[in-house]
Amino acid sequence: MTLLIDPRTRRRRLGVAAAAAGLLAALLTAGPAAATPDPGDGPAVPEKVSRSDAIETRTAIANGEIPGQDEIVHSDNIEHLTNIPKDALPGTNSDLAFQGEYAFAGNYDGFRIFDISNPKAPRTVAQVLCPGSQNDVSVSGNLLFLSTDSSRSDNSCNSTTQPATEKSSWEGMKVFDITDKANPKYVAAVETACGSHTHTLVPERKNVYIYVASYSPSATFPDCQPPHDGISVIKVPRNAPEKAAVVNFPVLFPGEGPDGGGNPGAPTNPGVSKTTGCHDITVLPSKDLAAGACMGDGILFSIKDPEHPKVIDQVEDNVNFAFWHSATFNQKANKVVFTDELGGGGAATCNAAIGPNRGADGIYDIVGKGDKRKLVFKNYFKIPRHQADTENCVAHNGSLIPVKGKDLMVQAWYQGGVSVWDFTDSSNPKEIAYFERGPLTTDKLTVGGSWSAYYYNGYIYSNDIAKGFDVLKLSDRRTDPAKRVHLRELNVQTQPDYFD
């Protein structure tokens, strides 16, 4: 199984037809990057591409430089086991969580529960209608947590959209009892400042703490006021989830004035998002560590006291990172992979014009000890296959593949597909497997592709925005040892200690 890089890549020069400088300028000066395609509660509207880009896409397909429309291609070491199309929830598919023989798939219209006891034939157990982007999902014990990051008329699952300028509008966290997987019960809701774009669990025996990441405040939003330079911390008693409440709002970017601290963005740093909160946080409870991807900043912080997280180090990349989107620790906790969601997930950035260092992963070593630890940049990683200018493609959500002594990761790249890569050598990352579909359309930029791709108990599961739920089998001597590692529960942003 040695097919590491698609040989067609050598011929692909997609994106060169557009003037490289002009395309970069358009992406990087259009204001702060949206963190997701953000179609609200409905599908994203396709955008027309230029006639030359449409012709170039069709020509590339005809020449075998990219897969045909909806065609599936993959490396020799990946097998596509099955796809379960979207059903009663037509919205954008989002994040994934796992527990036992179940997978929980977020969708802008609610969430879906799959029985994955037979990975070749997953079975839908429940579909819960509860609109509210982006419906980031996680589970702990008999509780399921759902993020709402669109302004709603109330906290019910029957709510409608309502402007954030109205004080009565609601955004935040919803809590469900999933004791009966076929019949989840809505049991609690907690409103949080600026909503909940994503959330991260810090579970304890009696309580579950939730770090709520949100951003983009406005003086016109009563419940989302600037500078909004921190995160909401919610405490959920396991035996009384209805008592869930915000217990703290730690400021992660202290600073003077109405803008607080953090990256100031443009015009000081053109093309970089101004830091007004965090997009995503990953915790490593066994090491009392967390890493935050916070728009214009990457941070490392201690969670020894989960109600009062403490920032250890803060880094910026004002040359190549536009929007710090997510973070992943390696198992030894001496590295962090940060992703840059250039273009907000709705742009075509996997082409020659953008290049290999933008819209990519940034690999950072963690050096030093205790509260004196520092993040040290080592290199970038980006998939080596250029995509069409009708395909949204950028670094997105992924997880570790647990192999002792190795740093391996599977990752979603929207319409760039699913990539498996090795960053054991921080300075020399390399792809070792991939799976992708051809463009959804050849004349429009249509948002789709893999939102999340995670490794769980021997298989890769991907939640495709447009196509549904995919199951992949990875067979490679470098990753096969991971098949012996089985977890009872996985929320990727709450990283387990696989070898404890």
Mean pLDDT for the chain overall: 91
DSSP assigned state of 347: S
The whole-number pLDDT of residue 54 equals 85
The whole-number pLDDT of residue 256 equals 74
* pTM over the 0.75 mark: yes
Identity (one letter) of the amino acid at 387?
A: Q
Q: Tell me: the pLDDT tens digits for 335-350?
A: 999 999 999 999 999 9
Look-up of token digits 């509008």? 169
The whole-number pLDDT of residue 282 equals 98
Asked if 392 and 466 touch (Cβ cutoff 8 Å), the reply is no
The whole-number pLDDT of residue 481 equals 98
Q: What is the mean pLDDT of residues 354-368?
A: 98
Identity (one letter) of the amino acid at 363?
A: I
Better-scored residue on pLDDT, 477 or 12: 477
Asked if 485 and 402 touch (Cβ cutoff 8 Å), the reply is yes
For 125, 345, 413, 449, 459, the CA distances from 381, given in Å and listed in that order, are 37, 17, 12, 19, 23
Q: What is the mean pLDDT of residues 383-402?
A: 97
Q: Which residues have CB under 8 Å from 495's CB, separation 6+? A: 282, 283, 284, 285, 328, 329, 400
What's the gap between Cα 153 and its chain centre? Answer: 27
DSSP assigned state of 87: -
The whole-number pLDDT of residue 255 equals 87
Residue 496: is its pLDDT beyond 70?
Answer: yes
Residue 63: is its pLDDT beyond 90?
Answer: no
Q: Was domain 7-490 assigned CATH 2.130.10.10?
A: yes
Residue 68: is its pLDDT beyond 50?
Answer: yes
Q: Which residues have CB under 8 Å from 7's CB, separation 6+? A: none
List alpha helices for 256-329, DSSP H: none
Asked if 421 and 381 touch (Cβ cutoff 8 Å), the reply is yes
Q: Which residues have CB under 8 Å from 142's CB, separation 6+? A: 177, 178, 179
Counting residues of the chain whose pLDDT is more than 90, the rounded percentage is 85
Q: What is the mean pLDDT of residues 433-450?
A: 96
Which tokens belong to 410? Answer: 């599977």
Q: How confident is the model at residue 45 (pLDDT cuts 50, 70, 90)?
A: low
Q: Which residues have CB under 8 Å from 200's CB, separation 6+? A: 138, 210, 211, 213, 280, 281, 282, 283, 290, 491, 493, 494
The whole-number pLDDT of residue 44 equals 60
DSSP assigned state of 414: B
